[in-house]
Amino acid sequence: MNNISIDLEFDRRHLWHPYTSLTNPLPTFPVTSASGVYLQLETGERLIDGMASWWSTIHGYNHPQLNAALHQQVDTLAHVMFGGLTHAPAVELAKSLVALTPEPLDAVFLADSGSIAVEVAIKMAIQFQVSRGLPAKTKLATIRQGYHGDTFAAMSVCDPINGMHEMFSGILAQHYFLSSPAIRPDQDWCERELDAARNLLSTQHQSIAAFILEPCIQGAGGMRFYHPNYLRGIRELCDRYDILLIADEIATGFGRTGKLFACDHANIIPDILCVGKALTGGYMTLAATLTTRHVANTIGQGPGGGNLMHGPTFMANPLACAVAHASLQLLASGAWQQQVKRIEQQLRAELLPLNGCFGVRNARVFGAIGVVEMVNPIDVAKAQQGFVQQGVWIRPFGKLLYIMPPYCIEPAQLRQLTAAMAAYVEQLAPD
């Protein structure tokens, strides 16, 4: 297949790409191979990937240890149903997840994708409340500007006004939304930031099963960073009002923020944790939902025979589990800590000076995430063509230029990405 030319006309006419139209498709760029931080295009360009394939390829492409895990596994067991059967890759992966996450989180559900991990988390929370005799606790609470996935339960806790799913609002489950926290991590904390949450939870806690949010960093909803004390306050309120806390760490987990998990910035532990994206090092789709033994045992004593009511066909696929386990072994070596710290320092030095430039609303950095928020929407097709010409892959959305590169990126490679972002800003300046 590698020698077959990519039929871009067929792609344009027949293939939907994420969040695009078949009647007015955006240009696509044909990739033939990838290695390290580079994408090789069929047209000859070699691009530094600033997106890590949407947060996932943290170790870089074509990694020998991850390749070896897949090659070894495919020769013995590529797939088998997880109903009534088990296998070593799933067990070893679960051991690694339990070891990496905080101690109370020791019950693992292996899901197909991040959206499904959120669906399972919501099911867990509601089944937990039903199982303890509180069937009225069926609502979720969350904050605006959030994004938790594109399936229906996940969409119902995404921002209903500023998000991507407004057209479905009439048929989605209705939940409680608070304004997104406004205090940034580098600003002074004020307890009044939690007033709205205190009011909501104190008056509606009897109907709320869980509070779900992305810890410290809201991703696709706007790449917003907020103060860890808000997360700490929500944890305390959930404890006070008998509400579960779901942390969606699908984008932030496994080192991206400078901590292994973004919850670590607030020194809190959720009742349910969703992880995905970087779990397999970007090799295959896989996610996980972890919860505490208390939640698991309570569900296990409830209706429906105590069964958690979810079971994907490809749950715990051995290939995905094997490469995920290898990816977590790479993380356990600890190199990511120095890598992310170095990336953050360089991003601060090279992106924060864009604050105050014409057309820039705000430039900000958190861990290995660099964001330049523009005043006006970005012409994605035009901007992307320009980035490809500069030898980089950056995928803007809305008003946002952002990068979250593989951890293995070298300073000169990262400088090429930030220089391309700066060049985009500079060309907007009036003559």
Q: Which domains does the chain have, with CATH numbers?
A: 8-62+334-426 (3.90.1150.10), 77-332 (3.40.640.10)
pLDDT tens-place string over residues 23-42: 999 899 999 999 999 999 99
CB atoms within 10 A of CB 408: 19
pLDDT band at 164 (very low <50, low <70, confident <90, very high): confident
Contact present, 37 and 413 (Cβ < 8 Å): yes
Contact present, 13 and 21 (Cβ < 8 Å): no
pLDDT tens-place string over residues 52-68: 999 999 999 999 999 99
pLDDT tens-place string over residues 93-124: 999 999 999 999 999 999 999 999 999 999 99
Name the residues annotated as catalytic. 19, 147, 248, 277
pLDDT tens-place string over residues 301-346: 999 899 998 999 999 999 999 999 999 999 999 899 999 999 999 9
pLDDT band at 170 (very low <50, low <70, confident <90, very high): confident
Contact present, 145 and 220 (Cβ < 8 Å): no
This model's pTM is above 0.95: yes
Contact present, 296 and 95 (Cβ < 8 Å): no
DSSP 429: S
